[in-house]
Structure 1
Amino acid sequence: MNLLTNQPGPSVLPYRAALDDLRMERAFSRIADSDLRLGNAITLLRDSKENYPAWIEAIRAAERVVHFENFIIADDETGRRFAEVLMERAQAGVKVRVLYDWLGSSFRALPPFWRRLREAGVEARVFNPPRITDPFWIRRNHRKLITVDGRIGFVSGLCVSDSWTGGKESEPWRDTGISLEGPVVADLDAAFAESWVLAGMKPIPKSELPDADGIAPVGTMAARLISGEPGMLRTYRVDQFIAATAQRNLWLTDAYFVATTSYVQALGEAARDGVDVRLLVPGSSDVPALQPVVRAGYRSLIEAGIRVYEWNGSMLHAKTAVVDGRWARVGSTNLNIASWATNWELDVVVEDSGFAEAMEAMYLEDLANATEIVPGWQSRRRQAKRMRSRRDRRFKRGGVRRIAAGALALSSSIGKAMGSRSLTATEAGSIAIIGFVLLALAALITVFPVLIISPIVIGLVWFGLALLIRAFRLKRRVRLRRRKLQLRRRLHKKKETEATPGG
């Protein structure tokens, strides 16, 4: 310790840095409810042209078991291509399990498609179809996961549909995935096994599920799996933690950004602290009704110092984050309450500087095909004034690094007008659309009040019936348990009587 400056000496600094890393790791593990797996090899895969061939190659090489879980599996050219590969492996004696979501896939692939798979030996199961006993069927399995022989796995934002490959009149969707080899694959299989049971199937034998400790290291990368489940908010906690701890940059890509106020505040606090926070979202969405809502939220982001970009190509469907050249997240979770709180999602956080560098390079390539939303001149002047006052306060606190980072973020965010679009014009169009929609809904409800009353009545009836059925089933279980207990007592008493001399 330097007594004059009250600062730790040089020999203390490495120890303190190691201690800080250990504390960070423990905090991350608690928040994510997931262990960090070392010794993995992870490859970044861009779009369907890199993801689909890697998936098919791995499935074709399967010798024991294939686990295939996806939100959308469509009966189109892409879906049938995967179906052929899965059926061929099943007919070759490989255990092939396919799990598809009812809402995502049922209308894109009709029963004959699934019947053909099952007749070929594929165990295909639908996840969470509508049931009168479950009013919460709106919770969806939004995961995109493949594992083969416990050896290799894939996690991504890609579904199985021609939308991702494009056609004569449409461009392929922009999306991101990864391939994984090493101990983390055991966690992928465990996540699939949980979904399989939730879908009503018998538990997968442990002999078919790999043990992370039994998988030899194949690389140097560290990774952890985040299994999103309804009500658990694991990924939300991780996203908040990353926003709170980012030091240099936080670059986000999201397909359906409708974040909570607290998350937007966390991003804003990071930006105000000098972190380079950027958000890349679609310029045109496959859910057109959502686009005005997303754009209406731009002002709060931009005024907080967050740089917002709209993708100029076809649908941008990726869900990624890269932080400080150290952490990166790839998976299925969108930055909205449906993904965070109500869906089953799956993401991988990779802690590796080389992988983060590749993610940053890919992000900058995407920004080259994007338009930045910038504030008008009055908003820029107010923003510059606020940023100056914040830099002055930081200077008084002696935060030299943060001053430089803040100045860099400010010059980047308000200094570039080329290839940008005014926030005011974007916001005006979005607000006008929302206004017209609200007026149209008001008119419909006035003329046809049954439109709003009927869903409420249906919902109440559904919830009421579901609760009554659940209560009846619970009472029946109690009666059955009582009968079994009485039968055991009688058998026990009978044995005691027979064992008693003279009985």
Structure 2
Amino acid sequence: MQQILTYFFLVVYSVTILGIILVIITDNRNPLKTLPWIIVLVLAPVVGLVFYFFFGQNLSKQRIISRRTRKRITMQLEESEHTGGPEIPPRYRPLASLLLKTLHSAPLYGSRIEVYTDGQSKMEALMAEIGRARHHIHIQYYIFSDDETGCRLRDALVAKAREGVEVRILYDDVGSNSTKKAFFNGMRSEGIEVYAFLHVKFPLFTSKVNYRNHRKIVVIDGRTGFIGGMNIADRYVRGTKWGIWRDTHFRIEGSGAAGLQASFLSDWSATTKEHISGAAYYPPAERFTDNILQIAPSGPFGKWRALLQADSYAIARARQRVWIQTPYYLPSDVLNTALQEAALAGIDVLLMLPARSDSKIVDLASHSYLDDMMKAGVKIAFYTPGFLHSKLLVIDDMLSVIGSANMDFRSFEHNFEVNAFVYDREFAARMAAVFEEDLTHCHILTAAEWFKRPRGRRVAESFMRVFSPLL
């Protein structure tokens, strides 16, 4: 009897594994993602099966945020006319059209953008804006910690809630999993509305844990917003024990804040089923500058991977330079090829990475891509004073891409992200100055030293590269 049960189990288990492999194949995913899952399931079936249920299921065809809801919210951003200011340069109009068609990202005019390259200055600016709030404060972070920095922000929000200001908070349930529930419950008891995005619990745990909200958005009174790479935690302000935490964040005043508002309220609607709109949340925007920007919130739903498409499209059409800062470089073939072709065509391509990452596994996989990059003529700069967490792309003298998305599979394929595409010469010059300042703290990689690294290191990099779409 025991032998029969054993054979029965093996048959059922084998059919399950084969069935999952068939599902993965018929999903018509990127082959670079399909193959690693098949390898894991075949070579380590027990472990592979567990990992697949936690991280491998494809929810892209589900509508976590409905297209109708997103379109209804973003309709409030469409400006009926634009007079007296610049137009999107002809060379960038196809890019703007791509973002409009895939993400309903309307061009927004005349925003004023302040730049913060350290966590302390960003937090002080955020606290000052919160202090000036009169109607509402909307906050969304991947990580909202209950450390000193998080408690300071909590106390400020509680004080505003007691004044009668509406305070709404979204946090990612996985990114903030180390934060005590009492921390959020304490804010709820003060009248603050707090929700976890895609709350993770059994039995829904397996279908949602791989799709996380990586956005960092604050909107105050519909007039001022914050976007960038910084979460709410002490390390963003104080750094780590092995160096500073170098990041970039932005304060946007004007119509760009309305774009951030639309992204937040889309996520709020998806999470709470409450649809918020009206003039109090989208007040008339003053025009401060001549810049044009598009707020581009992307996610794992739907057919298009708009941020990947937009970045690749813009890079492929660069004429002078492509400068990138990213903490993780795990690119798709399309992005990798676009950068190599740009370098081979004589474009100044600079990729700035942290000399030391917060993930050794990701570090190995990321470094496996650098051989071909260097052979193509891409300059590699390793930031040495600490961990570079900044996400920044500057193309030529007009286009800057800022926000939360890393240059990796996870940001482009799985996460909910938000970037801003800014069309403005003055702002591009400011971002180039940020690059140049960071470059003074970098080690520029040479081919001689890179290609002499130990063979064991190369083998480890190549092995981890196979799994880079899953990291």
Asked whether the two chains share a fold, i.e. TM above 0.5, the reply is yes
Displacement of 1:202: 1.6
- What's the CA shift string for 1:18-52, capped at 9, x where partnerless? 75565565456446642211111111221212211
1:86 aligns with 2:113: no
1:66 aligns with 2:93: no
Correspondence 1:162-181 to 2 at 5 A: 162-166=234-238, 169-181=241-253
* In 2, Cα distance between equivalents of 1:22 and 1:270: 20
Displacement of 1:282: 1.0
Displacement of 1:200: 3.0
TM-score normalized with structure 2 length: 0.75
* Partner of residue 98 from structure 1, selected from 169, 179, 188: 169
Structure 2 match to 1:42: 113
Correspondence 1:367-446 to 2 at 5 A: 367-376=439-448, 422-426=449-453, 428=455, 430-434=457-461
* In 2, Cα distance between equivalents of 1:102 and 1:364: 37
Alpha carbon RMSD of aligned pairs, Å? 2.3
* Partner AA of 1:220 in structure 2: D
- What's the CA shift string for 1:280-327, capped at 9, x where partnerless? 011111112211111121101111111111110211111100111111
Q: Check conservation: 2:174, 2:200, Cα contact below 8 A.
A: no
Q: Check conservation: 1:255, 1:282, Cα contact below 8 A.
A: yes
* In 2, Cα distance between equivalents of 1:167 and 1:337: 26
Change in 2 beyond 3 A, CA 1:253/1:217: same
* In 1, Cα distance between equivalents of 2:370 and 2:256: 37
Structure 2 match to 1:219: 289
* In 2, Cα distance between equivalents of 1:122 and 1:195: 17
* Partner of residue 191 from structure 1, selected from 263, 274, 277: 263
* Partner of residue 189 from structure 2, selected from 109, 114, 119: 119
Q: Check conservation: 1:71, 1:142, Cα contact below 8 A.
A: yes
* Partner AA of 1:423 in structure 2: W
Correspondence 1:73-472 to 2 at 5 A: 73-107=144-178, 109-131=179-201, 132-133=203-204, 135-137=206-208, 138-166=210-238, 169-210=241-282, 214-231=284-301, 232-376=304-448, 422-426=449-453, 428=455, 430-434=457-461
Q: Check conservation: 2:95, 2:313, Cα contact below 8 A.
A: no
What is the DSSP-based 3-state SS (H/G/I as helix, E as strand, rest coil) of the residue aligned with 1:163? helix
What is the DSSP-based 3-state SS (H/G/I as helix, E as strand, rest coil) of the residue aligned with 1:371? strand
* In 2, Cα distance between equivalents of 1:43 and 1:339: 24
* In 2, Cα distance between equivalents of 1:429 and 1:50: 42
* Partner AA of 1:85 in structure 2: A
What is the DSSP-based 3-state SS (H/G/I as helix, E as strand, rest coil) of the residue aligned with 1:274? coil
Displacement of 1:64: 0.3
* Partner AA of 2:177 in structure 1: S
* Partner AA of 2:297 in structure 1: S
Q: Which segments of 5 or more consecutive residues in structure 1 lack a partner in the other structure?
A: 1-16, 377-421, 439-503
What is the DSSP-based 3-state SS (H/G/I as helix, E as strand, rest coil) of the residue aligned with 1:218? coil
1:57 aligns with 2:128: yes
- What's the CA shift string for 1:188-241, capped at 9, x where partnerless? 111000111222342224354206xx3231222211101111144111111111
Q: Which segments of 5 or more consecutive residues in structure 2 lack a partner in the other structure?
A: 1-87, 466-471
Change in 2 beyond 3 A, CA 1:242/1:437: closer
Displacement of 1:434: 4.9
TM-score normalized with structure 1 length: 0.70
* In 1, Cα distance between equivalents of 2:217 and 2:385: 26
- What's the CA shift string for 1:81-133, capped at 9, x where partnerless? 111111111111100001100110021x1111111111122111111122424
Change in 2 beyond 3 A, CA 1:64/1:267: same
Percent of paired sites with the same residue: 26
Displacement of 1:375: 1.3
* Partner AA of 1:362 in structure 2: V
Change in 2 beyond 3 A, CA 1:20/1:220: closer
* Partner AA of 2:127 in structure 1: I
Q: State the aligned residue count.
A: 375
- What's the CA shift string for 1:61-93, capped at 9, x where partnerless? 100000000000111111111111111111111
Q: Check conservation: 1:151, 1:185, Cα contact below 8 A.
A: yes
Q: Check conservation: 1:31, 1:237, Cα contact below 8 A.
A: no
Change in 2 beyond 3 A, CA 1:152/1:129: same
* In 2, Cα distance between equivalents of 1:435 and 1:361: 35
Q: Check conservation: 1:182, 1:219, Cα contact below 8 A.
A: no
Normalized per residue, which structure has more helix? 1
Q: Check conservation: 1:296, 1:430, Cα contact below 8 A.
A: no
Change in 2 beyond 3 A, CA 1:115/1:186: same
